[in-house]
């Protein structure tokens, strides 16, 4: 029986202790695997998000927010300058407003609300259904108003010169045709959900701003926010709302991602403090910030679990060496070299850790998905920042007492779609992870038994006669 | 021939030095059975560990068949112990999770013998010390004290050593079994021409050996 076999056999010498050690070690190995899986999954997701963002720069008036009405729209002069910035290939301009359903009640917050005007009304009803109790609790009761029974969510109307891209979502026409963004007529496109809710078809008419608008096309609803949107040419909305030349947001497209940063700086220089300028990479970075936190947590926990595992096996080996000091003396007295005795103890430590690794891999495989999701969810909720206008989905005007804030539209817009994407992290235990688990076990065994080896080398063979 | 000259071993205890063995000298011919007697703490076990190269002396020499073992390196000593010295201990010191035959195979493995030859040799030795086949595959806890000591003797003889060192080999056995173990060692010394040095308290056993050394306060009296 060689030293390896003796080491393996020694694992069974005290089965209760061995089982306890294996369970504790397996938790350390399992946790380290979970952290590796979480890190890998998050890395993949970050790469995927970064590669999916376009070469665009979003420009909005400074201080533009859900509950303000600062009348600080982007000016024609500013937009002309932006168009002339190097590397800007196109500029999508848009104006947004809200329409309330004729006959529905709206809360008042004391703001200068366009949507409370009688002209900002439509015959349409929002396809988005919300919990009325939340509305009452958060808005009506809070302001001392009585809760209405005929409440309907306002509808967003967007006027744009680029109807193919609305709030950085690509518009896909399912029926009819797209509107001409540079025209000034009463043609509109509506979402499939809006059409369905209001029984609209291509050729149907409805009322808005005391005018009759014609549905020329129906586009696919990709998000709830987009589903609650109707799109008209920019000039049409300016005319209907009597806001000639007004633009509430613009999206500049840059030729390549390499020029994104320099072009953003150039636009910021032109607009100064009059506008908030953020490129898609910055938006993506802000969005993936929770994932970066998860990565940090994963690495810290990985190191921690490795150290814990090494300490456990080290203490066990220390205990074994102290307990078997006399046996080591016997082996040395019989002619065993230090190397042979160390081999025996190292194989014992390796057997313990490999058994723990197998159990750890199973634990890691089962726990990787739920723990990764929990980490992302917790970190995401802790990191959600109220300062980013993109994250708040504020690409639409929402100036008129818009209580359609983040609570109802948290997934709206470009930032919103990215954030929704964050939750879709796929944690998978593949062969590489299993091999990693085994490698972790060997590292733990090596670290844990190296000091034991030192102690073994220092046991004098005369120990065998100590108690004689 | 075993020749010991001016052998001294001092240990540090706190700030003072304790001399366990002081300037001991003697010689033993091949095949002789020698006993060392003395009170507890007289230095018997220290002398035995020096003779067995388990510890290095502070001064003096131990020459076995013309080789001064005190001048050997640790690596050489490990090989020397493996091939030239056999140990028999009072509490047997068998490895508890190995069977009797696996215990006897241990020194053969350390000497580099092949698996098949190890098994054959171990079996032959266990037969020689009258451990029946059924008990050869038992673990030490399932053998009596006398049987365990027989296995220990078989293990000591495994590599055909020149010298067997026995520390109180009958100390844990009843007088009848002790006598049998003594006779076994005595016969082996005769048949294998092996030198045996045994530390004992039992004067009746010591009286039957070829030579008796009495050790008092680390000093030897023949």
pLDDT of residue A14: 82
Structure tokens at A140: 């009506």
Q: Is the pLDDT of residue A278 over 60?
A: yes
Is this structure's pTM higher than 0.95? Answer: no
Closest CA to A361 of A41, A20, A25: A25
Distance CA A221, CA A187 (A): 19
What band does A173 get if pLDDT is binned at 50, 70 and 90? very high
Across the interface, which of A331, A340, A462 has its CB nearest the CB of B54? Answer: A462
pLDDT in tens, A5-22: 888 888 888 888 889 888
Query: Considering only CB atoms, which chain B residues are within 8 Å of A18?
Result: none
Contact A312, A452 (CB under 8 A): no
Residue A275 CB coordination number (10 Å): 23
Distance CA B177, CA A350 (A): 43
Exposure string for A441-456, b = 16+ CB within 10 A, e = fewer: beebbbbbbeebbebb
With tokens 């009596």, the residue in question is B144
Residue A365 CB coordination number (10 Å): 19
pLDDT in tens, B1-28: 899 999 999 988 888 888 999 999 999 9
Q: Is the pLDDT of residue A115 over 50?
A: no
pLDDT of residue A117: 58
A456 phi/psi in degrees, rounded to 5: -60, -45
Contact B9, B46 (CB under 8 A): yes
pLDDT in tens, A348-391: 888 888 888 889 888 888 888 888 878 777 765 555 444 333 33
A25 CA: distance to closest CA in chain B (Å): 24
Q: Is the pLDDT of residue A430 over 90?
A: no
pLDDT of residue B136: 95
Q: Is the pLDDT of residue B115 over 70?
A: yes
Contact B200, B169 (CB under 8 A): yes
Q: What is the mean pLDDT of the segment spanning B103-120?
A: 93
Residue of A156 and A48 predicted with greater confidence: A156
pLDDT of residue A110: 42
Distance CA B37, CA A342 (A): 37
Q: Is the pLDDT of residue A402 over 70?
A: no
- Which chain B residue's Cα is nearest to A464? B93
Q: What is the mean pLDDT of the segment spanning B140-144?
A: 93
Question: What is the full DSSP assignment across A276-295?
Answer: EEEEHHHHHHHHTHHHHHHH
pLDDT of residue A77: 82
pLDDT in tens, B170-185: 888 888 888 888 888 8
- Strand spans (E) along A44-193: 56-61, 88-101, 121-122, 155-160, 165-166, 169-170, 173-176, 187-191
Cβ distance of A334 and B155 shorter than 8 Å: yes
Q: Is the pLDDT of residue B61 over 90?
A: yes
Q: Is the pLDDT of residue A181 over 80?
A: yes
Cβ distance of B93 and A326 shorter than 8 Å: yes
How many CB pairs lie under 8 A apart between chains A and B? 74
B140 touches chain A (CB under 8 A): no
Cβ distance of A465 and B102 shorter than 8 Å: no
pLDDT of residue A390: 36
A438 CA: distance to closest CA in chain B (Å): 28
Query: Considering only CB atoms, which chain B residues are within 8 Å of A340?
Result: 110
pLDDT of residue A303: 84
Structure tokens at A202: 């291509």
pLDDT of residue A226: 86
User: To the nearest whole percent, how much of chain A has pLDDT over 90?
Assistant: 16
What band does A80 get if pLDDT is binned at 50, 70 and 90? confident
Q: What are the angstrom distances between the C-alpha of A295 and each of A64, A299, A305, A434, B17?
A: 33, 6, 15, 20, 61
B93 touches chain A (CB under 8 A): yes
pLDDT of residue B99: 94
Closest CA to A240 of A254, A249, A250, A230: A230
Residue of A419 and B197 predicted with greater confidence: B197
Distance CA B136, CA B122 (A): 9
What 3 state SS string does A328-376 have? HHHHHHCCCCHHHHHHHHHHHHHHHHHHHHHHHHHHHHHHHHHHHHHHH
B30 touches chain A (CB under 8 A): no
Helix pair angle (B145-157, B115-128), 10° resolution: 130
Angle at A85 (CA atoms; ends A81, A87), nearest 5 degrees: 150
Q: Is the pLDDT of residue A396 over 50?
A: no
SS3 state of residue B147:
helix
Indicate the domain borders of chain B: 2-94+161-221
pLDDT of residue B71: 92
Distance CA A68, CA B52 (A): 95
Residues pairing with B214 in the sheet: B37, B221
What residue spans of A180-288 are helical by DSSP H? Answer: 192-198, 224-227, 234-240, 260-271, 280-287
Query: Considering only CB atoms, which chain B residues are within 8 Å of A10?
Result: 97
Across the interface, which of A6, A330, A460 has its CB nearest the CB of B93? Answer: A330
Cβ distance of B93 and A462 shorter than 8 Å: no
pLDDT of residue B182: 85
Q: Is the pLDDT of residue A144 over 80?
A: no
Tell me the average pLDDT of chain B: 89
Q: Is B37 left (phi over 0), alpha (psi -120 to 50) or beta?
A: beta
Contact B54, B37 (CB under 8 A): no
B164 touches chain A (CB under 8 A): no
B72 touches chain A (CB under 8 A): no
CATH topology of domain B2-94+161-221: Rossmann fold (3.40.50)
With tokens 């006598």, the residue in question is B179
Number of H helices and E strands in chain B, helices first, is 8, 10
What band does B189 get if pLDDT is binned at 50, 70 and 90? confident
Q: Chain A interface residues facing chain B, Cβ-Cβ under 8 Å?
A: 1-2, 6, 9-10, 12-13, 326-327, 330-337, 340, 460-462, 464-465, 467-468
ipTM above threshold 0.95: no
């Amino acid at each position: 029986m060689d030293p390896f076999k003796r080491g393996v056999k020694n694992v069974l010498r005290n089965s209760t202790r061995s089982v306890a050690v294996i369970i504790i070690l397996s938790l350390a190995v399992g946790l380290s695997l979970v952290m590796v899986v979480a890190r890998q999954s998050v890395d993949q997701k970050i790469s995927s998000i970064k590669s999916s963002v376009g070469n665009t720069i979003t420009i909005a008036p400074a201080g533009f927010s859900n509950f303000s009405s600062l009348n600080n729209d982007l000016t024609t002069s500013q937009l002309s300058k932006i168009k002339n910035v190097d590397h800007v290939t196109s500029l999508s301009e848009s104006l947004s407003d809200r329409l309330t359903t004729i006959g529905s009640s709206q809360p008042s917050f004391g703001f200068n609300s366009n949507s409370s005007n009688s002209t900002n009304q439509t015959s349409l009803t929002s396809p988005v259904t919300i919990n009325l109790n939340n509305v009452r609790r958060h808005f009506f009761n809070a302001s001392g108003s009585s809760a209405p029974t005929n409440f309907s969510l306002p509808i967003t109307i967007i006027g744009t010169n680029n109807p193919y891209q609305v709030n950085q979502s690509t518009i896909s026409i399912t029926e009819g045709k797209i509107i001409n963004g540079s025209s000034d007529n009463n043609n509109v496109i509506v979402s499939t959900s809006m059409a369905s809710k209001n029984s609209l078809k291509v050729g149907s008419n409805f009322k808005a701003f005391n005018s009759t608008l014609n549905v020329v096309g129906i586009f696919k609803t990709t998000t709830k926010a987009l589903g609650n949107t109707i799109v008209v040419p920019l000039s049409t909305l300016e005319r209907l709302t009597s806001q000639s030349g007004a633009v509430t947001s613009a999206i500049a497209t840059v030729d390549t991602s390499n020029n994104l940063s320099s072009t953003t700086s150039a636009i910021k220089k032109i607009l100064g403090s009059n506008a908030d300028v953020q490129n898609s990479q910055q938006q993506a970075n802000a969005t993936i910030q929770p994932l970066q936190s998860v990565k940090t947590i994963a690495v810290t926990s990985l190191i921690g679990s490795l150290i814990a595992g090494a300490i456990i096996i080290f203490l066990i080996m220390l205990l074994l060496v102290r307990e078997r000091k006399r046996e080591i003396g016997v082996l040395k007295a019989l002619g065993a070299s230090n190397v042979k005795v160390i081999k025996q103890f190292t194989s014992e430590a390796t057997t313990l850790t490999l058994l723990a690794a197998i159990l750890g891999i199973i634990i890691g495989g089962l726990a990787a998905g739920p723990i990764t999701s929990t980490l992302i969810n917790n970190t995401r909720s802790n990191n959600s920042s109220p300062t980013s206008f993109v994250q708040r989905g504020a690409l639409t005007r929402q100036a008129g007492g818009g209580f359609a804030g983040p609570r109802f539209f948290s997934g709206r817009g470009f930032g919103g779609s990215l954030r929704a994407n964050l939750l879709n992290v796929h944690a998978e235990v593949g062969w590489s992870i299993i091999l990693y688990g085994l490698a972790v076990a060997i590292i733990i065994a090596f670290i844990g038994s190296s000091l034991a080896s030192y102690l073994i080398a220092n046991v004098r063979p005369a120990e065998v006669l100590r108690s004689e | 021939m075993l020749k010991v000259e001016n052998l001294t071993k001092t240990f540090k205890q706190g700030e003072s030095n304790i001399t366990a063995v002081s300037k001991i000298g003697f010689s033993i011919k091949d095949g002789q059975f020698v006993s060392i007697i003395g009170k507890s703490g007289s230095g018997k076990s220290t002398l035995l560990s020096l003779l067995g190269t388990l510890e290095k002396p502070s001064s003096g020499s131990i020459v076995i068949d013309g080789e001064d073992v005190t001048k050997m390196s640790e690596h050489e000593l490990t090989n020397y112990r493996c091939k030239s010295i056999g140990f028999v201990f009072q509490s047997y010191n068998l490895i508890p999770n190995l069977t009797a035959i696996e215990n006897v195979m241990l020194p053969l493995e350390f000497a580099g013998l092949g698996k098949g030859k190890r098994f054959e040799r171990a079996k032959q030795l266990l037969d020689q010390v009258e451990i029946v086949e059924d008990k050869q595959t038992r673990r030490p806890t399932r053998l009596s004290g006398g049987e365990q000591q027989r296995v220990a003797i078989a293990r000591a003889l495994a590599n055909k050593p020149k010298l067997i060192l026995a520390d109180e080999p009958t100390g844990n056995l009843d007088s009848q079994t002790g006598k049998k173990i003594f006779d076994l060692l005595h016969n082996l010394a005769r048949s294998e021409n092996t030198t045996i040095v045994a530390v004992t308290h039992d004067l009746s056993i010591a009286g039957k050996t070829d030579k008796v050394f009495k050790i008092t306060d680390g000093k030897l009296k023949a």
